[in-house]
Amino acid sequence: MTDRTTETSWEVERAFGLAGRRAIVTGASRGIGRTVAIGLARAGADVALVGRDEAALAETADLVRQARPSAAVSVHRCDVRDTASVRRCVAAVEDEGPVDVLVNNAGLNIRKKALETSEADWQTVVDTDLKGAFFMAQEVGRGMVARGRGSIINVSSVGGHVALRTGVAYAAAKAGVIQMTKVLALEWGPHGVRVNGIAPWYFRTPLTDPLLADPAYLRDVLDRTPLGRVGEVTELIGPVVFLASDASSYVNGHTLFVDGGMSVYGF
């Protein structure tokens, strides 16, 4: 047997690089999805941008081309709540070539207290954040399993792990994403497909800007964050590129908390 402890040729650029890989990013029209799409392209990947707003996706495509002019970029309109739309979208992306990476990022929140949460609120949040993520993973995973390779990264939230006053439907959906990640890792690991997740705390995006604009709310967030600041969206690129790339080749079923240490806070 080869003694790998004497290996001296491991190359960091190659391990973390995504040259020749194709990635789908859902919710790429703004916020985390846009930033991550640009980051994946900078790491060498071609990217398929998925969302409902084609004009905003086209703006992301321009930014991706600015970031790496040689990147192949495509835009695909899709509502992740609609499984027929997901199927059409993934088929269109796969028509252009096999997919190596899926970043399941599309998501939203309706911030209401439990007693005020309607059935429609629950359905909108769970259909987008959990059902949408699952059927996107299923559709992309089908091809990955057949090809025997791939990496899926599901975007959960710290709120899927600890209890926050930010909406029960969102908490349930994001907790579901963490558990879904583990089960898909278990089922698809034997086929060479890794499934992991990230769980962000507060990052400034169109989703959180209105909340963080309230000084009292921001103070509360900062008081709970050991690093004493909210995250910059670019700080999510490293974790996603790591999980997408061969650098994480033995990481499977894990959700990486990108939270400035918030989730270790015990009060």
Ligand X SMILES: NC(=O)c1ccc[n+]([C@@H]2O[C@H](COP(=O)([O-])OP(=O)(O)OC[C@H]3O[C@@H](n4cnc5c(N)ncnc54)[C@H](OP(=O)(O)O)[C@@H]3O)[C@@H](O)[C@H]2O)c1
Residue ranges that bind ligand X, judged by CB under 6 A? 26-27, 29-33, 51-53, 56, 78-81, 105-108, 128, 132, 155, 157, 200, 202-203, 205-208
- Nearest distance from C-beta of residue 87 to ligand X, angstroms: 14
- Nearest distance from C-beta of residue 164 to ligand X, angstroms: 10
Closer residue to ligand X, CB minimum distance, 234 or 249: 234
CA–CA distance, 178 with 141 (Å, rounded to integer): 17
- Nearest distance from C-beta of residue 105 to ligand X, angstroms: 5
Distance from CA of residue 81 to its chain's centroid?
16
CA–CA distance, 18 with 13 (Å, rounded to integer): 9
- Nearest distance from C-beta of residue 158 to ligand X, angstroms: 6
Closer residue to ligand X, CB minimum distance, 107 or 141: 107
Closer residue to ligand X, CB minimum distance, 122 or 202: 202
Closer residue to ligand X, CB minimum distance, 148 or 265: 265
Q: How far apart are the first and last CA of the chain?
A: 50
The three-class DSSP label of residue 34 is helix
Examine the residue annotation and report whether 170 is marked as an active-site residue of this protein: yes
Closer residue to ligand X, CB minimum distance, 15 or 214: 214
**Number of separate helices (H) and strands (E) present in the chain:** 10, 7
Sign of CA dihedral 234, 49, 101, 157: positive
Residue ranges of alpha helices (H) inside the chain are 12-16, 31-42, 54-67, 83-95, 119-126, 132-147, 168-188, 209-212, 215-223, 237-244
- Nearest distance from C-beta of residue 62 to ligand X, angstroms: 15
The candidate with the shortest Cα–Cα distance to 258, out of 164, 170, 157, is 157
CB 99 within 8 A of CB 22: yes
Instruction: Just list the catalytic residues.
Output: 170
